[in-house]
Amino acid sequence: MTAALNTRVTELLGTEVPIIQGAMARIADASLASAVSEAGGLGIIACGGAPLDWVEAQIAEARSRTSKPIGANVMLMDPNAGELAKLLAELKVDVITTGAGSPANYMEMWKEAGIKVIPVVASTALAVRMERLGADAVVAEGTESGGHIGELTTMALVPSVVDAVKIPVIAAGGVADGRGLAAVFALGAEGVQMGTRFLTVEECTVADAYKERVLAAKDSDTIVTGRGSGHPARCLKNKFSRAVRKLEGDMAKNGDELEQMYLGSLRRAVEGDVENGSLMSGQVAALVHERKTAAEVIDELVREACALGARDLAEMARANAARKRA
Ligand code: TUI
């Protein structure tokens, strides 16, 4: 049983610890999400790129595996984001996180359904807009993260967002162990979201070859593709990402070829084609060495962080936020 670690985020989510599993498109399904929730964190089903019937089935499956809160993520660039937004409101998932855009169009519908809405932001300006729209909290995601990213580092972004909003801030990007968890409380965050750390856990159904690449990665093994096309995404170095980077040198000439290469690149990765797939991963792949269960990861993180004074740091983050609200 994980020791408790309370913040406004655990109160908001109804979880034992303020640890959220990041949505990873085509990876985070009912198996991973229910394991994280059952272990005391918040599991998130990633709906990016998925058909609506898959989403509905995964939420039902997760609910059959745990009675604890479960979240879903809407990738706002998804062509079916509007229909998905409606489905999630009907299903009344406990929490919705959003990425890659502004959820302004859906906020009212979700709030009316009693859903807690937590947009992922990569800038302070968007965090302020989200608070005005009624977001319950924000995830401030640094550029260390895997997948689609902004420009600012977690170290620069999180305190800036903490100073600008009154709602709880959850840090993401660059955290994979108890040291990182303690550090984000020192920055004023009241919770953490981690993707890469949960990618290698036993309950994650991604192909083993993908996990092996993450476990073997060094700190210099991620690169950012897509800067040329305006959709930057961090992934592990492999044949695919190196080829993309080369072609991006001349977008006018290679734009069509690149589009072809991206088609199915996430699917190839999760199915285990570790050379031709896009192996999205954060920089912290270098900190992930062992295969564990989700419960073991959460337990270890909380123990390590508490040994570093995380309870006091979390309490200070809460007290500072209360002072600001007064
Ligand atoms: O969304 C993510 N990470 C993702 S989405 C994804 S799926 C994908 N598949 C193929 C290629 C690219 C992506 C993989 N990883 N994180 C949250 C996040 N949101 N990071 C950055 C942002 C963001 C960026 C700009 C949010 C809003 C924004 O501008 C919105 C506005 O209105 O200003």
267-282 confidence digits (pLDDT tens): 999 999 999 999 999 9
Rounded distance, CA 220 to CA 286, Å?
8
The H or E element containing residue 125 is helix 124-133
- The helix/strand/coil state of 236 is strand
Model confidence pLDDT, tens digit, residues 28-61: 999 999 999 999 999 999 999 999 999 999 999 9
Provide mean pLDDT across the span 199-220: 98
- The helix/strand/coil state of 218 is coil
Q: Are 238 and 279 in contact (CB under 8 A)?
A: yes
In short, whether 147's Cβ falls inside 6 Å of ligand 1 is: yes
pLDDT score for 3 = 66
pLDDT score for 26 = 96
pLDDT score for 323 = 87
Q: How many CB atoms neighbour CB 101 within 10 A? A: 17
Categorize the per-residue pLDDT at 288 as very low, low, confident or very high, splitting at 50, 70 and 90.
very high
pTM of this prediction exceeds 0.95: yes
Whether 246 shows a pLDDT value over 60: the answer reads: yes
pLDDT score for 322 = 87
Rounded distance, CA 4 to CA 23, Å?
23
Listed residue (219, 311, 235, 224) closest to 18, CA to CA:
311
Provide mean pLDDT across the span 223-236: 93
**Backbone phi, then psi, for 271, in 5-degree steps?**
-85, -5
In the numeric block, the tokens 């800067």 are attached to: 227
In angstroms, what is the span from residue 58 Cα to ligand 1's centroid? 22
- At 108, the amino acid letter reads E
| Nearest CA owner, ligand 1 atom 1 | 99
Rounded distance, CA 152 to CA 300, Å?
28
Q: Where are the alpha helices (DSSP H) in 92-195?
A: 104-112, 124-133, 154-164, 178-186
Average pLDDT, the chain: 96
Q: Cα dist. 205→53, 137, 248 in Å? A: 19, 29, 32
The token duo for 326 is 């007064």
Whether 1 shows a pLDDT value over 60: the answer reads: no
Q: Spell out a b/e string for 245-282, using b for 16 or more CB atoms within 10 Å of the CB, else e.
A: bebbeeeeebeeebeebbeebbebbbeebbeebbbbbb
Q: With pLDDT > 90 as the criterion, what percentage of the chain qualifies?
A: 95
Rounded distance, CA 98 to CA 192, Å?
15
In short, whether 189's Cβ falls inside 6 Å of ligand 1 is: no
Provide mean pLDDT across the span 129-151: 98
Q: With pLDDT > 70 as the criterion, what percentage of the chain qualifies?
A: 99
Provide mean pLDDT across the span 129-141: 98
Whether 228 shows a pLDDT value over 90: the answer reads: no
Size of the chain in residues: 326
In short, whether 96's Cβ falls inside 6 Å of ligand 1 is: no
- The helix/strand/coil state of 127 is helix
In short, whether 148's Cβ falls inside 6 Å of ligand 1 is: yes
In angstroms, what is the span from residue 149 Cα to ligand 1's centroid? 6
| Nearest CA owner, ligand 1 atom 12 | 148
Q: CB under 8 Å to 134, separation ≥6 — which residues?
A: 107, 108, 111, 117
Q: Cα dist. 126→16, 70, 159, 160, 198 in Å? A: 28, 25, 14, 12, 27
Categorize the per-residue pLDDT at 287 as very low, low, confident or very high, splitting at 50, 70 and 90.
very high
In the numeric block, the tokens 């610890």 are attached to: 17
Whether 113 shows a pLDDT value over 80: the answer reads: yes
Listed residue (22, 37, 39, 31) closest to 298, CA to CA:
39
Model confidence pLDDT, tens digit, residues 60-84: 999 999 999 999 999 999 999 999 9
In angstroms, what is the span from residue 309 Cα to ligand 1's centroid? 33
In short, whether 144's Cβ falls inside 6 Å of ligand 1 is: no
**Backbone phi, then psi, for 255, in 5-degree steps?**
-50, -45
pLDDT score for 325 = 76
The token duo for 132 is 């005005």
